[in-house]
Amino acid sequence: MELWDAINRRRSIRKYKDRPVEEGKLNRVLEAGRLAPSAGNRQEWKYVVVRDAAVRRQLIEAANGQQFVGEAPVCLVCCAVDGEHVMSCGQASYPIDVAISVDHMTLAAVEEGLGTCWIGAFKEPAVKKLLGIPEKVRVVALLPLGYPDAEPRPRQRKPLTEIVLWERWQG
């Protein structure tokens, strides 16, 4: 698959088939995350791969009742092990680094015929408690992963003319 095909086909999937994700496909998705760039090459991410159905069901409550988090055959809990590093621009690096990694995984999932849905609406303390994640580690995103059982239509996107400014801020 071409990169542009994956970018155009990626959708937020909220309905999954009751079909396990093959180990090879899962590993290629994780490998895509591993290969992502990070500030200072810190690679501060770790992923908790949750396949156990009972644990996934418990993640539903931590994810504010979003049922599909537990219905997907895999849920990747995407974490940052160092929440203290600040880049010279003043931004904390961990949310950006993990976000880039998650984005790589969402596109790799499309190439593998899988679907994902980036989840930022969750209770971090509940996820940490459920999975035994240390206090100093930050949970940045949940990423349900599986075979789509529906194909949502594309969402409207703003045209480039509304989001691109040339040379200087205008307006």
Mean per-residue pLDDT for 140-150? 97
Q: Do the Cβ atoms of 83 and 94 come closer than 8 Å?
A: yes
pLDDT tens readout for residues 46-99 = 999 999 999 999 999 999 999 999 999 999 999 999 889 999 999 999 999 999
**For residue 168, what are the contacts with CB-CB under 8 A and spacing of at least 6?**
none
pTM score, two decimals? Answer: 0.95
Q: What share of the chain is helix, strand, coil (3-state, %, to 5)?
A: 40, 20, 45
Percent of the chain with pLDDT over 90: 92
Q: Do the Cβ atoms of 142 and 81 come closer than 8 Å?
A: no
Mean per-residue pLDDT for 122-136? 97
CA-CA-CA-CA torsion sign (4, 8, 13, 19): negative
| CA atoms within 13 A of residue 80's CA, in its CB half-sphere | 22
**Any idea which fold 3-163 has?**
NADH Oxidase (3.40.109)
User: Nearest-CA neighbor of 82 among 42, 119, 120, 49?
Assistant: 42
User: Nearest-CA neighbor of 135 among 125, 145, 143?
Assistant: 125
Q: Do the Cβ atoms of 100 and 36 come closer than 8 Å?
A: yes
Q: What is the pLDDT of residue 1?
A: 67
